[in-house]
Amino acid sequence: MGATSVSPSEERVEAAVSVTDRQDTTTPAPRRPLAGLRLPSRPRLWFELLLIAVSYAVYSAIRNAAPARVEDAQRHARWIWDFQDQMGLAFERSVNHGVEGVTWLVVSMNYYYATLHFVVTIGVLVWLFRSHPGRYGPTRLVLFVTTGVALIGYYFFPLAPPRLMEGMDFIDTARVHHTWGSLSTEDSAMASVSNQYAAMPSMHIGWSLWCGLTIAVLAKPLWVKILGALYPAVTLLVIVATANHFWLDAVGGMICLAVGFLVAHLWYGRVCYRLPRDVAGPGSPSTATAVRLGKARPAGSTPAAAPPTASATAVSGGSSTAPVSRASAASTASTAPHGPPPKAGPPPGQPGQPS
């Protein structure tokens, strides 16, 4: 009597609409191109070893395949030296001659230049791989892009290092002190397979600054952070004192590193050091980054409300006779005026019954 009845046909229509609404709310978002590649994932050891080996081989091949062009390299070196001299910052020769008088110091710098360039960089990569797997891939991308940009400078701007400048009295410290493993000695076997005029930009600075920033930002012990901050500064002193680079070569390395950080930021959407430290599992994207790119919802959130159906829109506008849902009927009944229900009259066309 006092409740609104719903016919079986209306219930069937309502059930069909409800199923449609549920399907609409679970429809996946359109897949973005390359979205999976832009999510940091746990690195695989075999792949990383292969990638680093192949990449360094390609880097060395391109670097050494660049034409030597000795005359161009000497002219560029003279231009840089004159430019620094005009600014009053042509101090490389003074530093080079100053350290030569301290044998233990200059020999230490020679081995620093020949070895730490590789040892520290590989060590930081291993540390990232083990302790920061979610940041390893993006941070490694910075290093790879930095090195790739440097190849452009090696190919199009050959530059003689100060120790090979003609008409100057720079001291080739590695040659004088017979440093083992050094690439600077022209008549050595290693120098014969290395491009001696690939000095701009300085990857000793590019790589050391990458290592220093990574350690200073991600390491926890204060003394380790300090060592990370000092590493590129000491490297700058070494490359100048051993007459392997001008200080402007270091600026070129910094520019290459800035390009590397920019590319990684554009690819992953944020600075590599601010990405999640860990990931869910091998090959699994991190949840936080998936949320940021729209691949998942944050924990505790509710799905977005589905748009109103055609039947509900028609009922609200009063332009359709489509059946309303049970919830709408209950809402209408609750807003009706209270009181005893009206007595049912006789059907139309029939005389009333006498009382």
Amino acid at 45: L
- Are 39 and 290 spatial neighbours (Cβ–Cβ below 8 Å)? yes
pLDDT, one tens digit per residue, over 275-293 is 988 876 544 444 444 444 4
Mean pLDDT, all residues of the chain: 76
Looking at the structure of the chain, the number of domains it has is: 1
* Contact criterion met (CB below 8 Å) for 324 and 35: no
**Of 77, 76, 104, residue with least CA distance to 93:** 77
Domain coverage including residue 184:
72-267
CA distances from 167 to 77, 164, 170, 190 (A): 11, 9, 9, 25
- The answer to whether residue 92 sits within a structural domain is yes
Mean of pLDDT values over 303-319: 47
- Is 30 inside any structural domain? no
Measured distance CA(109)–CA(245) in Å, rounded: 13
The closest of 256, 253, 250, 255 to 84, measured between CA atoms, is 250
Q: How many CB atoms lie within 10 A of CB 295?
A: 18
Q: Check residue 34 and give its pLDDT.
A: 56
Q: Tell me if 186 is assigned to some domain.
A: yes
State the CB neighbour count (10 A cutoff) for residue 324: 19
194: in domain: yes
Distances (CA, A) of 209 to 197, 226, 251, 266, 333: 22, 13, 11, 20, 73
Give bridge partners of residue 282 from the DSSP assignment: 42
Mean pLDDT of 47-65: 80
The number of residues in the chain equals: 355
Please say if the pLDDT value at position 94 is more than 60: yes
The per-residue DSSP string of 243-290 comes to TS--HHHHHHHHHHHHHHHHHHHHHHSS-GGGS-S--SSBTPPPHHHH
Residue 313 in domain: no
Q: What is the mean pLDDT of residues 205-225?
A: 97
Residue 18, in any domain of the structure: no
Query: Is the residue at 108 inside a domain?
Result: yes
Is 311 part of any domain? no
pTM above 0.75, yes or no: no
The model's pLDDT over 245-272, given as tens digits with 9 standing for 90+, comes to: 999 999 999 999 999 999 999 989 999 9
